[in-house]
Amino acid sequence: MSRFALINSKNNKNTRLDQNGLGDYKYGFSMPENYVFKSKKGLDEEVVKMISAMKKEPVWMREKRLKGYRVFGEKKMPDWGGDLSKIDFNDIFYYIKPNQKVEKSWDDVPKEVRDTYDKLGIPEAEKEFLGGVKAQYESEVVYGSLRKDLEDLGIIFCGMDEAVVKYPELVEEYFGKIIPPGDNKFAALNTAVWSGGSFVYIPKGVKCDKPLQAYFRINSANMGQFERTLIIVDEGAYVHYVEGCTAPIYTTDSLHAAVVEIFVKKGGRCRYTTIQNWSTNVYNLVTKRAWVEEDGVMEWVDGNLGSKLTMKYPSVFLAGKRAHGEILSIAVAGKGQHQDAGGKCIHLAAETTSRIISKSISFRGGRSSYRGMVTMNKGAKNAKSKVVCDALILDRNSRSDTYPVNKIFESEVSLEHEATVSKIGEEQLFYLMSRGFEEHEAEAMIVNGFIEPIVKELPMEYSIELNRLINLQMEGSVG
């Protein structure tokens, strides 16, 4: 189960050491391209229509896409956050289809795709562990399996493209409901050209005891990945959805603009775990939002390790009484990286509670920012929220920012926000080194201790690999 398994660099054709400041970053391989279909570069109405036609979509979806395209043209680029000026929308392939049909059996998956996954160290045995695997390679779901026992419970877990055909009434009702195209430029772009992503429906009262996992990868230079995920957790149901990303290294910039919409009905609970490890040329601009009804619980666990620039603020709308939202976020920014991450909790109803915990690490000139918002609307009586942001800066060239906004429109509430910024304590380091640890080992231990409160919330195999990956990134980075 090695989501971040180290790959022997002898096997890597395209490994470029130290390109991203990670020393021996092992995921930088790429496979020969073998596509059934590739759209032309750039975006116009024809490309949008063509994508819709290729997917044989119903008219309503095509209309949603075209509306998204129009809004995309009208919306301005955000003038806050990271530097987006280098993105050239005309230099991107918006749709690549690697294989004609959605595969069901592992053996039918094309060899190159399988090789890529082997290098990432996803063993076939994982099928035994996971409820179902949806691996997104390029823009299309190429491999999907769902264990029968889950299917028997009525759980739907399939590719978004498949869902448009098979469950049109659910998709039409919820698609774009909490993230309309007008929300922001990248949500509009995603609406226009989305491809792939997952659709999950958990029926009333069903507890999905195994995490559902999706796998995302970009494997072609200049290819944007615009997956669209929709999760509906019905009354009293529970699901844990896990999404992890790694991408090969290319010299030209790539764009990843995903949209994730989650609906948690009365008494339901959803946990969404992401570990994002894009290579350091990727712009990762993702809109994630959850709508939570009475007594529902939404938990975002968000780890941002890779990418050139990440702008991602998972949001929770607490719409029903006693709904609870939780956002746990880790950001690691190394050389040339800017992690602009955080979270938003909007309290719309009485007795709603939320907690945001953010831990960020900046090193080798990296910049990490926490950007968050807590809003308590009139009527959100006895709402409570707590925000804690801790930042660790490992050297003089690195930077850390905190930009929280707390808007309170109801007097009977309680809100706490605190943030601290510090470096690794000399005394802690001295203590560990006096016990015989090398300096870099001691540093890694301290960093791992720093992020421990969030790492312990991850599925076990993820937390082990995350610790290992951070050790690797950290080597010799302090001083």
Residues near other proteins (CB under 8 A)? 378, 391, 393-396, 398-409, 411-423
Amino acid in the structure at residue 131: G
Closer residue to other proteins, CB minimum distance, 334 or 459: 334
Compute the least distance from the CB of residue 265 to other proteins, in Å: 30
Closer residue to other proteins, CB minimum distance, 255 or 470: 470
Helices 45-54 and 59-74: crossing angle in degrees, nearest 10, is 150
Amino acid in the structure at residue 161: D
17-91-182-75 Cα dihedral, nearest 10 degrees? 110
Compute the least distance from the CB of residue 285 to other proteins, in Å: 22
Compute the least distance from the CB of residue 479 to other proteins, in Å: 11
Closer residue to other proteins, CB minimum distance, 11 or 422: 422
Contacts of 457 (CB under 8 A, 6+ apart): 273, 301, 328
Q: Where would I find the beta strands (DSSP E) of 181-323?
A: 198-202, 212-217, 228-233, 238-246, 254-256, 259-264, 269-277, 282-292, 297-304, 309-312, 315-318
Among 100, 68, 188, 194, which Cα is nearest to 139's?
A: 194
Give yes or no for a contact between 134 and 93, defined as CB atoms under 8 angstroms apart: no
Compute the least distance from the CB of residue 347 to other proteins, in Å: 12
Give yes or no for a contact between 61 and 69, defined as CB atoms under 8 angstroms apart: no
Compute the least distance from the CB of residue 370 to other proteins, in Å: 9
Compute the least distance from the CB of residue 419 to other proteins, in Å: 5
Closer residue to other proteins, CB minimum distance, 81 or 121: 81
Report the helix count and the strand count for the chain, using DSSP H and E: 11, 23
Q: Measured between alpha carbons, how far is 121 from 350 in angstroms, rounded to an integer?
A: 46
Closer residue to other proteins, CB minimum distance, 395 or 461: 395
Compute the least distance from the CB of residue 400 to other proteins, in Å: 5
Closer residue to other proteins, CB minimum distance, 222 or 406: 406
Give yes or no for a contact between 222 and 252, defined as CB atoms under 8 angstroms apart: yes
